[in-house]
Structure 1
Amino acid sequence: MNVQKEQDRKKLDDKVLTMPWYVQQFIDYKLPDLSPSTLLEYIRDYETFFNWLRAEGLSAAPDNGKVTLEELEVLRMEDVVSYRLYLTTRRESANSKITVSRKLSSMRSLFHYLSQIAEDDNFYPLLKRNIMAKVEIKRIHKPKDTAAKLKGKILEEDELLEFIGYIMDGYAKDVANNKQALYAHELNKERDACIASLILNSGLRVSEVVNLNVDDLDMNNKMLYVYRKGNNDETFKTPVYFREQARDDLAQYLTLRQSRYKVPKREKALFAALPNGHQEGGRMTKRAIQAMIIKYAKRFGKPYLTVHKLRHSFATDYYLQNDIYKTKEQLGHASTETTEVYAHLTDKTMSEAIERRLEP
């Protein structure tokens, strides 16, 4: 099992114990088909729902683990409407339409399982009445809408190389008066630039970058072997190619990986960090990489840029030279529908190309 999945599986195993027995049964049913990170999101959604049920007096349970099937069975449509309203208006963290849709979809999955699949000792459904079957969940996350939100928030054309160069050199000039920031940058600039370069030249997800080991790297063929999202075969790694730029940056980083980060021989992680006060380095975390990219992006003048938008930046650039099917394979998408985002992002360029083609 890859590193990120191991961490999420441990969190899942701990969290699921706070849930009612029938939710635990549902998670066991879904475990072969869905990743631990997806199921962890399900658990968090159920935690929110059960907390709301108890706060509204719709459940008499002293804690979430004691919410009964009977209390779910007598819920009315007006209760579901109230819950949807709560998700969109609660002050501490109002959710977007996409998030609300996902949370309701999680509930539908659970209720469907309880009413259509799971059985009691007498072969009757665990849930006799499924109120969530009446809830229509409209598709919110359309490729064209996603593309519209991404415009202006990703790196385009020359900016891809400029951002990598900024991490290596430009950032130091901007923090010249901050000794602590300057010291940290001098220590990590080759590694940080290498990570950004690898994503911008391959389209890897941050979880895939975190899971990379040194022996996953084939420098001669400009190839990496990665655990791809949605692939539950723990023995199979997918080959993913990267561009020449990334090979140069990887070669530079590898010359100092062991000496700079004091990586012991037993540590196989490609990207390492050496926390203050530690004698040995270890694998970089997902959160550390995300925070690192945000730090550079703000100074670079792209405050909306995140590690995932680096992946979008690569994909948009790659799509301009390749078709949708090659882009889908390179990014590891399950279907071309997800890849359609980049067709919409490149609408302007494509329309200009058509105009040039029609010129006499």
Structure 2
Amino acid sequence: MKNPNKQENFKKLQLLLNELPWYVEEYINHKLRKLSTASLFNYCHDYKIFFNWMISEQLCNGNMKDIPIERLEQMTVIEVENFLNYLHYQLENKELTVNRKLSALKSLFNYLQNKAETPDLKPYLNRNVMAKIEFNENKETMETRANKMEGKILLGDEYERFRLFIAHDFGEMNKENTKTYNFYQLNKERDTAIISLILGSGLRLSELVGLDLDDIDFSKYCARVIRKGNKEQFVFFSQTAMNDLQDYLAVRNTKYDVDKQNKALFISARIGPKGTTRRLTARAVEKLVEKYAAAFGKPSLSVHKLRHSFATRYHAEINDVPKLRRQLGHSSIQTTMIYTHIKNDDLKIAVDKMDMPKEQ
């Protein structure tokens, strides 16, 4: 199994670290085995915003990379509050985003004060201003978040209608457009299998594109994936997903002329006469979902919303939060609890029927 984005993300991370102070790089290296490169890249992006702000406010002179660690020790509560106000009012970051960036800074400062050591065994920071800063109170309840999500995911019979739309209806809709129709005919089994697998398992995008042929256990209906934190796990998927996957595998080699050395499960179509087949990228999957979602009349759908759709349906039918947490690969059960607040049409219909007059 391979994660095709891992090396690319690592290169991007290294390029960004070249712009940041040395102590940030030391902190990131400390976290490298514990967090994904994508998460660490986001941390560094937040640090870049912070250090650029320091320079723009003339809290420090020179280059961002040269900001001394001593300046962090001298930062005041007022300065940090000014930065948070800058995020909220000038960059128009929402409270959750401000909290996320503050969390990244708290983690960095905590490392510099409590974990990192100088050669004479003293902490890098004796004073940690971030420990004095409180997070914004998140006034948005789980129920509010669930209600916002509800209109952007698939519910009820939309699961099967969306799958059938990709497997058949999209082609009928575009018969007059030769280029679109031919491209669809080439990829319809692959695209149906991709959507069906997400809707039938709740896989993350990175987990999906990282799948190899030998990661699929056809007897147990499960796939071996690498989850966040580089944890290996077997994730189960539905009978429908298995059927669509087998339909795709029946045409994979002939349609894509795949080299025997290429073990990637999902393959990209050739582009141009000299094009080569390769593992389908995460961005390619995002684009195909966007294309079908727009044509289906639900443009808010994304890969992540399909994952939410699976989780909502799983909870409605199984009602076992610990099992759902494991299936989704959540580190905290609180993250999984949001799906207990999403309304389900099937349940509502059942309750409504209770009020119907009974036949005499």
TM-score, structure 1 as length reference: 0.90
Counterpart of 2:330 in structure 1 is 333
Counterpart of 1:181 in structure 2 is 180
Secondary structure class of the residue paired with 1:75: coil
- Residues 1:247 and 2:242 aligned together: yes
Mapping of residues 59-98 of structure 1, within 5 Å: 59-62=60-63, 64-90=64-90, 94-98=92-96
Contact 2:4–2:281 (Cα < 8 Å) also in 1? no
Secondary structure class of the residue paired with 1:221: coil
In 2: Cα distance, 1:338 partner to 1:22 partner: 32
User: What CA RMSD, in Å, does the superposition of the two structures yield over aligned residues?
Assistant: 2.4
- Residues 1:287 and 2:283 aligned together: yes
- Shift, 1:78, TM fit: 2.5
- Shift, 1:143, TM fit: 3.3
- Shift, 1:77, TM fit: 2.2
In 2: Cα distance, 1:167 partner to 1:289 partner: 14
- Residues 1:126 and 2:124 aligned together: yes
In 1: Cα distance, 2:344 partner to 2:194 partner: 29
- Shift, 1:226, TM fit: 1.0
Secondary structure class of the residue paired with 1:293: helix
In 1: Cα distance, 2:79 partner to 2:66 partner: 19
- Residues 1:117 and 2:118 aligned together: no
CA deviation vs aligned residue, 1:129-173 (integer Å, no higher than 9, x gap): 222111111463753333122111100121111101111222234
Gaps of 5+ in 2: none
- Partner residue of 1:309 out of 301, 305, 310: 305
Report the count of equivalent residues: 353
CA deviation vs aligned residue, 1:192-246 (integer Å, no higher than 9, x gap): 111000000111111110110011112222111111223x35xxx3111111111
Secondary structure class of the residue paired with 1:147: helix
In 2: Cα distance, 1:358 partner to 1:239 partner: 43
Q: Which amino acid aligns with 1:150?
A: M
In 2: Cα distance, 1:332 partner to 1:229 partner: 8
In 1: Cα distance, 2:168 partner to 2:77 partner: 58
Contact 2:35–2:228 (Cα < 8 Å) also in 1? no
Secondary structure class of the residue paired with 2:127: coil
Contact 2:269–2:277 (Cα < 8 Å) also in 1? yes
Counterpart of 1:21 in structure 2 is 22
In 2: Cα distance, 1:261 partner to 1:27 partner: 40
* Larger RCO: 1 or 2 (CA < 8 Å, sep 6+): 2
Q: Greater shift after overlay, 120-129 or 192-201?
A: 120-129
- Shift, 1:22, TM fit: 0.6
In 2: Cα distance, 1:213 partner to 1:9 partner: 21
Counterpart of 1:219 in structure 2 is 218
In 2: Cα distance, 1:182 partner to 1:348 partner: 34
Contact 2:202–2:310 (Cα < 8 Å) also in 1? yes
- Partner residue of 1:267 out of 262, 266, 276: 262
CA deviation vs aligned residue, 1:285-320 (integer Å, no higher than 9, x gap): 111111111111111111211111101111111111
Secondary structure class of the residue paired with 1:12: helix
Gaps of 5+ in 1: none
Counterpart of 2:58 in structure 1 is 57
Secondary structure class of the residue paired with 2:234: strand
- Shift, 1:358, TM fit: 12
Contact 1:154–1:309 (Cα < 8 Å) also in 2? yes
- Shift, 1:10, TM fit: 2.6
Contact 1:210–1:284 (Cα < 8 Å) also in 2? yes
Counterpart of 2:227 in structure 1 is 228
- Residues 1:154 and 2:149 aligned together: no
- Shift, 1:275, TM fit: 4.1
Secondary structure class of the residue paired with 2:223: strand
- Shift, 1:69, TM fit: 1.2
Q: 1:67 to 1:262 in 2, by over 3 A?
A: farther
Percent identity (aligned):
40
Secondary structure class of the residue paired with 1:42: helix
TM-score, structure 2 as length reference: 0.90
In 1: Cα distance, 2:160 partner to 2:102 partner: 41
Q: Which amino acid aligns with 1:171?
A: F
- Shift, 1:181, TM fit: 2.5
In 2: Cα distance, 1:273 partner to 1:352 partner: 42
In 2: Cα distance, 1:184 partner to 1:90 partner: 44
- Residues 1:33 and 2:34 aligned together: yes
Q: 1:98 to 1:169 in 2, by over 3 A?
A: same
Contact 1:264–1:280 (Cα < 8 Å) also in 2? no
In 1: Cα distance, 2:354 partner to 2:314 partner: 21
Contact 1:228–1:332 (Cα < 8 Å) also in 2? yes
Q: 1:9 to 1:300 in 2, by over 3 A?
A: same
Q: Which amino acid aligns with 1:319?
A: H
Contact 1:143–1:338 (Cα < 8 Å) also in 2? no
CA deviation vs aligned residue, 1:256-285 (integer Å, no higher than 9, x gap): 112222221111110010241344211111
Contact 1:262–1:274 (Cα < 8 Å) also in 2? no
Q: Greater shift after overlay, 66-75 or 136-145?
A: 136-145
- Shift, 1:126, TM fit: 1.2
Q: 1:142 to 1:116 in 2, by over 3 A?
A: farther
Contact 2:73–2:125 (Cα < 8 Å) also in 1? yes
- Residues 1:100 and 2:101 aligned together: no
In 2: Cα distance, 1:217 partner to 1:179 partner: 35
